[in-house]
Amino acid sequence: MQPFHGVGGLLIAIGLSVASSNVAAQTRATLATADTAVQVAAGADAPRLVSLTGRRLSPWQNRGEETLPPWVEREGKRLPLHWKLVAGATVVSPHRVAFVYETSEPRLQLMWEWEERAHFGPVEHTVTIRNRSGIEVWLPVFDSLRLAWQIPESEELRSLSIEKGAGAPTDQGTHVDAVGPGYEWTGWSSTFAHPIPGRPREIIPFEAVFDPTNRGAGWFAGIEFSGRTRITLSRKGTALSSAIGLDPEPGPVLTRLVPGGAFITPEVFLGTFTGGPDGTGNELRPWVRLVLGAPRTWADPHYPLTVNNSWGVGMSINDAVARGMIADASSLGFEMFHLDAGWFRGVGDWYPDPKKFPNGLVPIAEDAHRHGMRFGLWVDWSQAGIDTEAGALNLHDPKVRDWLVADVGPDWKPQDFKGQTIDLGVPAAREYAAREVDRIVTSDHLDMLEHDGYLVTQGCTRDDHPHAPPDPAHMQVEHYDGEDIVLSSNSTDVSYHAVEAYYSIYEKLRRAHPGLLFEICNDGGRMVDFGTAAHGDYFSITDSYDPLSNRRAFYDASYVLPPAMLETYVDKWPTPHPGNFVYELRSGMMGWLSVMQNTSAWTPEQHEAARRELTLYKERLRPLIRDAQLFHIAPRPDGIHWDGIEYWDPARGEGVVFAFHGSSTGETEHRYLLAGLEAGASYHLHFEDGSSRDMAASGLELMQEGLRVVLPQPLTSEVIFLTKN
Ligand SMILES: [Zn+2]
């Protein structure tokens, strides 16, 4: 079978074949993009993923059978389920294949679906179970996707996984592991990044496996969901197995299916690639942009914006300081003023502090607009506090107390900007939050809404919420970073409901305010996943703001997410020499740039340098950050040695290399082996700071001998533009 016939080509093969273990006829179908094809089969009792094929790659054969939920609980009794194919309900269209199964007692319907939403890149998969009976049942949650590839016993394999930046990037961040015999790995993701003591740093919920000896060819999978999920990968004999879906620990995880209600597994994507880790990124990132990204956001040529953030003055922000920051930032060329924490009356009381902003925020928003800037605002809208003014979310209100994940003591007090999280999975709490964010966006004239804090909870002590109740015998309350995290068998289900509510709030808000931008902060770098990529416009990728942390977080996340979505905050940092200042700025200029400093305090020389860098960003770097391929052309930054990133846009014939010289005094020059160029083509090189003269070089030279950059001073940088002659 040859599933590929040109870009955007599709081939749907529907045939009848006889499975060896089953005499019933099977419907087979193939769903294909230009890069990935899956063949699926509908057996009488269960569907099956048969194979995955990549462009010019031999197929991976899946030898696992899909295990449909074997039982549900009803009125405390476990009922075995016998699933049967409803052949007449099968859907095979150019963009979607769906097989439907049913059980008669109790009456449940299962839809097993594969979908193609772009002509290139991966395909997506979900399973939906509906309760067609008149009685509530409890369903054991199951994986979104299980893979069991048949592999040659001797094949050399590597895996790629990427950590979240969270509080600060760890020393590794990007993991390329040898997947040898007996290999076993699990990666976890939630909105907390450190949910369970003893677990390693969480990952962006994604995995890739490739053969380094065969053009770096492989497959990748990821989860479009922000709740508690995990991915496992193991190799045993001739089987390479992976389970992708909701975190089953602590278990057993059950979810409620009310009559007429449905459970949908977190959507997963599955694709193929060549070219190792950078190959997977260059395949995945354009797909994330097209399929998950907001079309209106990407249609704006100013995206990603350049931002000045008020946290440079911390909680001491007020009307006069904000106006001063806007005036100076606009003179430098910043495009948005972002008012961070410190503007509000109190936690859960999201009204301007009358002492700081006696006329409210509208005059500040309008001042930004007059200066040609947009206006963004920090809110931690799922937090309750103790303010008693009208409009405040007070957790002593009995209604609000019922929304909390756990009771608080009588003397409980919020921190400066951290309160107690409400469970958004409770319909009344979700409705409050939806109204509240809409009010804030409307009344404060926002162009951008940032959410911070641990907005989506996991684990809850309540037994009267829509999620499963906790298991009182196995319930542990962890205090993490000012949050109560309840660990029990309901933790995953609580996060499932809260995430669904969070998505519905933002979908509604986006419909009501087209063009409004959403920043996903979540205490910095903790909610970086493909579910938020589909509901927000950019991520704060780490909560540490120095040049090294910013470059490390960017190095990691840029493997799997569009760089335009990857925001780093550039904080004050010692810059004794002018070159150090530019190095500091450029460490945040490879993706979305937010400068978290009071620029009025900069020297005239720093003003001049920042103005030049912002012009460079907007005119030359931003088009490449939006559209170009990205290559990691140096080891991950360690702050000591050299590091760098290459962008190359084959369509424009243009690219750029960001070169950073770390703190080492001995290494005054470095050679970067470039990627993605044509060996026989000639390229013009322009060194933006004039550290070397402009020159021409062939693609072969640049890829084999390298691009030589000379920077004698430590903690300095250069930006080198490449143009194909
Ligand atoms: Zn709850």
Q: How sure is the predictor about 2, in pLDDT bands with cuts at 50, 70 and 90?
A: very low
Q: What is the pLDDT of residue 442?
A: 98
Ligand 1 centre distance from Cα of residue 440 (Å): 25
Q: Which residues contact 130 (CB under 8 A, 6 or more apart)?
A: 108, 109, 110, 111, 257, 260, 261, 262
185 class by beta-carbon count within 10 Å (0-12 exposed, 13-18 middle, 19+ buried):
middle
Provide the 3-class DSSP secondary structure of residue 131.
Answer: strand
Ligand 1 centre distance from Cα of residue 256 (Å): 13
Ligand 1 centre distance from Cα of residue 466 (Å): 7
Ligand 1 centre distance from Cα of residue 520 (Å): 23
**Is residue 18's pLDDT more than 50?**
no
Give the closest residue to 616 by CA, choosing from 592, 589, 643, 596. Answer: 589
Query: Both tokens of residue 313?
Result: 């003055």
Q: What is the pLDDT of residue 482?
A: 76
Query: Both tokens of residue 308?
Result: 């000045």
- Does the CA dihedral 135-136-139-145 come out positive or negative? positive
Ligand 1 centre distance from Cα of residue 590 (Å): 40
506 with 518: CB under 8 angstroms? yes
- Quick: pLDDT tens for 570-589: 999 999 999 999 999 999 99
Query: Both tokens of residue 213?
Result: 């000896």
Q: What is the pLDDT of residue 353?
A: 98
Ligand 1 centre distance from Cα of residue 603 (Å): 51
Q: What is the pTM of this model?
A: 0.96
Q: What is the pLDDT of residue 137?
A: 98
Q: What is the pLDDT of residue 195?
A: 63
End-to-end Cα spacing for the chain: 41
Give the closest residue to 644 by CA, choosing from 662, 668, 627, 629. Answer: 662
332 with 359: CB under 8 angstroms? no
Strand-pairing partners, residue 409, are none
The region that residue 431 occupies, defined by phi over 0 for left and psi between -120 and 50 for alpha, beta otherwise, is alpha
Ligand 1 centre distance from Cα of residue 349 (Å): 22
Q: What is the pLDDT of residue 417?
A: 86
Q: How sure is the predictor about 14, in pLDDT bands with cuts at 50, 70 and 90?
A: very low
Ligand 1 centre distance from Cα of residue 382 (Å): 13
- Count CA within 13 A, CB hemisphere, residue 326: 25
Give the closest residue to 480 by CA, choosing from 199, 169, 188, 163. Answer: 199
- Quick: pLDDT tens for 123-159: 999 999 999 999 999 999 999 999 999 999 999 999 9
Q: Sheet harboring 695-698: ordered strands across?
A: 629-632, 642-649, 654-661, 716-724, 682-687, 695-698
Ligand 1 centre distance from Cα of residue 497 (Å): 9
- pLDDT over 70 percentage in the chain: 96
- Quick: pLDDT tens for 467-522: 999 998 998 888 877 777 889 999 999 999 999 999 999 999 999 999 999 999 99
Alpha-carbon torsion, ordered 291, 295, 301, 306, to 10 deg:
-80
CA–CA gap between residue 239 and residue 184 (Å, rounded): 12
* pLDDT (average), residues 86-92: 96
For the chain, give the number of residues.
Answer: 725
Ligand 1 centre distance from Cα of residue 441 (Å): 27
**Is residue 13's pLDDT more than 50?**
no
- Quick: pLDDT tens for 575-632: 999 999 999 999 999 999 999 999 999 999 999 999 999 999 999 999 999 999 999 9
Instruction: Output the average pLDDT for the chain.
Output: 94
Ligand 1 centre distance from Cα of residue 128 (Å): 23
Ligand 1 centre distance from Cα of residue 408 (Å): 14
Ligand 1 centre distance from Cα of residue 470 (Å): 9
Cis check for the bond before 252: say yes or no (omega within 30 of 0): yes
